[in-house]
Amino acid sequence: MSNFAVQATTGNARRALLRTTHGPIETPAFMPVGTAATVKALAPADLREIGTQVVLANAYHLWLRPGVDVISQAGGLHAFMAWDGPILMDSGGFQVFSLESRRRIDPDGVTFASHLDGTTHRFTPESVTAFEEALGVDIAMVLDVCVKLPATDDELRSAVDLTSRWARKAKAAHTRPQTALFGIVQGGLDAELRKRSARAIVALDFDGYAIGGLSVGEPREQMYDTARLSAALLPADKPRYLMGVGTVADIVMAVDCGVDLFDCVYPTRCGRNGRALTRLGELNIRNAEFRFDYTPLDRDCACSVCKAFTRSYISHLSRAGEMLGGRLLSYHNVAVLNALVSEARDAISAARWSQFRDETLARLLPTLHKTRF
């Protein structure tokens, strides 16, 4: 079970405390993605060392492999992955609906073929909720319908209606008080559909709410506008979660919209592909310009990677295909985002959020056009 208390606000930005069974989460908070019960290249000790409070796992992937029996007999997901902090579990809706030709939707759920071996599986709001509860996660997301953008009006309306229907079923199936259940607002970039979706989902009185269906390729200005609208439609006394956001600029803007939680594979995916996040923009560490650069990845970063290693060395590792390169970059990238939200919390408490926001974005402006979001 979770509870949530707002501690300070500046404009729409807010600092809060979300209490869960496995400990408190200070928000705003970034959640590294541990899709298959692991944040790629990082051990639980690494995550703790760089200030990670909560990790995200994915129902779709864990349902297929290793399955509920293996994890349950291990004592639940926390014991299985040796992580004693909070875990939020994504319902896998995005993964299922990205399969397209491999799935069939009906009013009560979705039948799909595994991307691993082609076997047939079925997700219903009830079965996904039961799976999440069986794994003992702290926060469970309801099964929803996420459509790719651009989408037709009919596709968006259908997704909103089916998401609402499934949310009611998931809420009725929720039996484990230690697991908080979050509803999801859909509607694409359509303001009226967002309002319609929010009314239906908020009426069910979930423990928290997510803004879904964004960060899927739409222009960033439209994402911000829709996130701001959606956040304003959600209760002030419940946590708000913007799904799939993981760049410095996007997190800052989302906090400014009144959002509390964020997740994304971006920092670790960048790490595996030779990209370093910094407060001055992103670096492709494989570029020749870094071969003789003996400075840290980010002079302002206090992580152990920046204290011990140079751009030259990490460039060498990445260019040589050494796994340590991806590990060091992933560690640093998650540390950067964790430090960002920590500083954001302090700025909100000190009533200097606007200054922090503007200064952070101003440092990024020269490089934003070079960054792939």
90: annotated active-site residue: yes
**Which two three-digit tokens encode residue 276?**
């370093």
DSSP 8-state symbol, 294: -
263: annotated active-site residue: yes
**Which two three-digit tokens encode residue 92?**
């896998």
Q: Are 360 and 248 in contact (CB under 8 A)?
A: yes
Radius of gyration of the chain (CA): 20
46, 138, 260, 263: the active-site residue? 263
Whether residue 28 has a cis bond before it, omega within 30° of 0: yes
46, 90, 207, 256: the active-site residue? 90
Helices marked H in the chain: 44-49, 59-64, 68-73, 77-81, 93-98, 125-134, 153-173, 191-202, 220-232, 248-257, 266-272, 304-308, 311-320, 323-349, 353-368
112 vs 124: CA distance, rounded Å: 11
Is residue 299 exposed (0-12), middle (13-18) or buried (19+ Cβ within 10 Å)? exposed
Sign of CA dihedral 261, 20, 88, 57: positive
CA nearest to 184, candidates 127, 109, 253, 125: 125
User: 10 Å Cβ neighbour count for 84?
Assistant: 12
Q: How far is the first Cα of the chain from the last one, in angstroms, to the nearest whole number?
A: 34
Q: What are phi and psi of 36, to 5 degrees?
A: -105, 40
Long-range Cβ contact pairs of 42-48 (< 8 A, separation 24 or more): 42/268, 42/327, 42/330, 42/331, 42/334, 44/81, 44/82, 44/83, 44/84, 46/331, 47/83, 47/85, 47/334, 48/85
Residue 90 bridge partners (DSSP): 58
User: 10 Å Cβ neighbour count for 205?
Assistant: 10
Query: Token match 């949530």: residue?
Result: 4
Active site residues: 90, 263
